[in-house]
Structure 1
Amino acid sequence: MSNPDLNLLITLDAVLAEGSVTRAAKRLRLSPSAMSRALARLRETTGDPLLVRAGRGLVPTPRAIELREHVAQLVRDAQEALRPAELLDLETLERTFAVRTSEGFAENFGPALIAHVAQKAPGVRLFFMQKPDKDSKPLRDGIVDLETGVIDLASAPELRGQALFRDNYIGVVRATHPLSRGTITSEKYAAGMHISVSREGLEKGPLDDALLLLGLQRRVVTIVGGFSTALGLARGSDLIATVPERHTASLRDGMYSFPLPFHMPEFTVSLLWHPRFSADPAHRWLRDLILHVCKKGE
């Protein structure tokens, strides 16, 4: 069976609504001959005469009466679907956005984001979801609107992304920690008691690889799943937390932060989303807002 010409729905809607071939032609701005050909095609497609003569006029057949409201609704739905996107009215927008982030992002950037949203779009809510792994399946499945992370976008061509900021690792200890006084060398850093941050529970990572190149090894005494937890432990003990600088800026108040005494490469934190949301005005507004908040502190 060949696909029907869906343009005929518009013609059928006009014919059924007007009950007159002449008025339907005028409504669609068609010539009488073009309208007659269209009606012939409709009759062939539906297998029904649709309009039949009764005296000096035309009356709809039972099949035409049955189709009238259904066809009218189909045309209205099609027109609604194809209508250009309306201007975004933030004051009346009602929507909840799910943002999947690593621990620390919401604590650091969340307050400013929530304040901006409350001021511009009071009907919008942000749902900050935990990010237990790097699997972007929730984005692909539409469960999540946005996600932050360190990712090579070339390895995920089905996603869209935008760089938020560059970051680097620093060391953090409590204000009265012995490392808060004097010069911090690689040897002093490695000799301390350390917190390893790993969602997978791993003891060693890139930091340990960098120290190994110097012939050093740090002593990890505990492993946590996120940066804010690491900072909380370091704040109340002699442990050393090594965390991203910008990612944790507001979480380190009252603590002593220092540059690592060895080289660790910078990295880019990006905002990710699925292409299905690329043209959505509200989604685009939130992406721009997150970028604005993250760039503001640079």
Structure 2
Amino acid sequence: MRFEMPALLPAPAFAARPMSDDDLTRIDLNLLVVFSALIETGSVTRAAERLRSSQPAVSRSLARLRELFDDPLLIKSGKEMVPTPRALALKGPVAAALGDIRRLFKPAGFDPAIDRRRFRVSSTDYGVLSVLAPVMGELATTSNIEIAVDPLSDDDHQKLASGALDMVIIGRTPERPELYRRRLFTERRACLVREHHPITRDPDVMAGRPPTIDACLAWPHVVITVLGDLTGSHVARQLRRLDKRRQVAVQMPYFSVAPLLIEQSDALLILPERAAKRFAEARGLVMFEAPDVFGTFDYWLVWHERARRDPALHWLIERITATVGDPACA
């Protein structure tokens, strides 16, 4: 008795070597969907019904799959088609590949309970105190969120563009067209002095009104400079406009340390009202409104156009806005 082996289909040119990108471009990934339907239904007819296709079209796809994998894949057995060992081995990987492809095209979302993210944020310590600290209670409920804070710098817009930063928290209006922004609140300026400072006996201060600018300038000042620019601050510009000068005792970039320097001196500190309230309560200092001429400023969240559709960043923006944002600024 003589047995004849059935002729094998010719193997594709890339079957005996690692598949390259060029090979992938010649493969119709829709064939994986057909394979999945065939392996699950065991029938060309039922696979066609599931795929809302025609039986001849599914048969042609099966022929291409057999050539692609150099295997019959499904063999007729009575009224059913049974998978070959090769087809059974492919079932799991094909299902996983199709799952990955579906997730790839699923609308982007972010769930802090399961998705991990490290945010890079640029801010002063005032921004950390007034914007990030209030939201930390919520952020700390998950171990998947980490926030790394960098000091503000002149090239933050470039870092946003490159992805080195996700967001900037800043007290001046961003003007670059590629930057997106959200105004959180409008902040007043306040004065902070030690308890029993002579200015606390000023008639305006005692009456709950801002002192005159001359009353403020009668005392040395601890000055907080952002980006190291003493002359570019709003207070400095207003003083130049009025042709007035202040005695600068100490200049520093740290909001959180500056109050320590006025506890044992007659120096006066002008800083944002939210920070002044915190320091007055924590260190027993006296706070009162700054002269009206120093005005107000807006505080912003800023991000780049490249992150406009980043669901994780927008999750963080919404959490911050809900916690510290002023509804009047929406």
Q: What is the TM-score normalised by the length of structure 1?
A: 0.75
**Cα distance in 1 for residues equivalent to 2:227 and 2:33:** 58
Does the Cα contact within 8 Å between 1:17 and 1:68 map onto a contact in 2?
no
Q: What does residue 223 of structure 1 align with?
A: 251
State whether structure 2 residue 128 is matched by structure 1 residue 101: no
Question: Hey, what's the Cα distance between the residues in 1 that align with 2:135 and 2:39?
Answer: 53
Partner of 2:99: 76
Whether contact under 8 Å (1:114, 1:126) holds in the other structure is no
Aligned residues: 291
| Residues 188-214 of structure 1: CA deviation (Å, up to 9, x unaligned) | 323421122124434333322211222
Q: 2:170 aligns with which of 132, 138, 149?
A: 149
Deviation at 1:165, TM superposition (A): 0.3
Moved more, 143-152 or 55-64: 55-64
More displaced, 103-112 or 174-183?
103-112
CA contact (8 A) 2:192 2:276 kept: no
Q: Distance in 2 between matches of 1:73 and 1:212?
A: 68
**C-alpha distance in 2 between matches for 1:107 and 1:166:** 16
CA contact (8 A) 1:148 1:272 kept: yes
Instruction: Determine whether 1:267 maps to 2:290.
Output: no
Query: What amino acid does structure 1 have at the position aligned with 2:239?
Result: L
1:28 and 2:51 equivalent? yes
Q: Secondary structure at the match of 1:129?
A: strand
Structure 2's unaligned 5+ residue stretches are: 1-21, 205-210
2:286 — aligned with what?
256
Choose 213-222 or 126-135, whichever is displaced more: 126-135
- The one-letter code matched in structure 2 to 1:80 is R
Once the two structures are superposed, the pairs formed by residues 18-167 of structure 1 within 5 Å of their partners are: 20-40=43-63, 42=65, 46=68, 48=70, 50-51=72-73, 67-83=90-106, 92=113, 95=116, 98=119, 99-109=121-131, 112-117=134-139, 121=141, 123=143, 127=147, 129-133=149-153, 135-136=156-157, 139-140=160-161, 146-155=167-176, 157=178, 159-167=179-187
* Deviation by residue 1:61-103 (Cα, 9 ceiling, x = unmatched): 7876675443222102122334457895x7x557565454321
Q: SS of 1:210's equivalent?
A: helix
- Given the alignment of the two structures, is residue 242 of structure 1 paired with residue 270 of structure 2, yes or no? yes
Q: Return the alpha-carbon distance in structure 2 between the equivalents of residues 217 and 267 of structure 1.
A: 22
Q: Deviations over 1:242-271 (max 9, x none)?
A: 211234432232333333336234321112
Whole-Å separation in 2 of the counterparts to 1:64 and 1:126: 44
Counterparts of 1:53 and 1:110, CA distance in 2: 63
Instruction: Encode CA deviations 1:140-188: one digit per residue, 9 max, x unaligned.
Output: 555655442135444152x443211011323222222222221433233
In terms of mean alpha carbon deviation, does 140-149 or 174-183 score higher?
Answer: 140-149
Assess, with a 3 A threshold, how the Cα gap between structure 1 residues 203 and 270 changes in structure 2: closer, same or farther.
closer
Closer, same or farther: CA 198–3 of 1 in aligned 2, 3 Å: farther
Where structure 1 has 5 or more consecutive residues not aligned to the other structure, the ranges are none
SS in 1 for 2:293: coil
Distance across 1 between alignment mates of 2:138 and 2:126: 19
- The structural deviation recorded for 1:32 is 0.8
Sort the Cα spacing of 1:154 and 1:259 in 2 relative to 1 into closer, same or farther, 3 A.
Answer: same
Q: What is the distance in 1 between the residues matched to 2:172 and 2:30? A: 45
Does structure 1 retain, via aligned residues, the 8 Å contact 2:124–2:226? no
Question: Aligned partners of 2:280, 2:144: CA distance in 1, in Å?
Answer: 29
Distance 1:78 1:62, change over 3 A: same
What displacement does 1:287 show? 2.8
Contact (CA 8 Å) 2:122, 2:167: kept in 1 or not?
yes
Does the C-alpha gap of structure 1 residues 54 and 38 become closer, same or farther in structure 2, counting only changes over 3 Å?
A: closer
**Whole-Å separation in 2 of the counterparts to 1:265 and 1:211:** 12
Report the CA distance between 1:222 and its aligned residue: 1.3
For the 8 Å contact 2:170–2:301, the answer to whether it is kept is yes
* Higher alpha-carbon Rg: 2
Inter-CA distance 95–217: structure 2 relative to 1 (3 Å threshold): same
More displaced, 54-63 or 268-277? Answer: 54-63
Q: 2: CA distance between counterparts of 1:181 and 1:297?
A: 37
Tell me the TM-score normalised to structure 2 length.
Answer: 0.69
Q: Using the aligned pairs only, state the percent identity.
A: 29
User: In structure 2, how many angstroms separate the alpha carbons of the residues matched to 1:93 and 1:71?
Assistant: 25
Distance 1:127 1:201, change over 3 A: same
The amino acid across from 1:201 in the alignment is: G
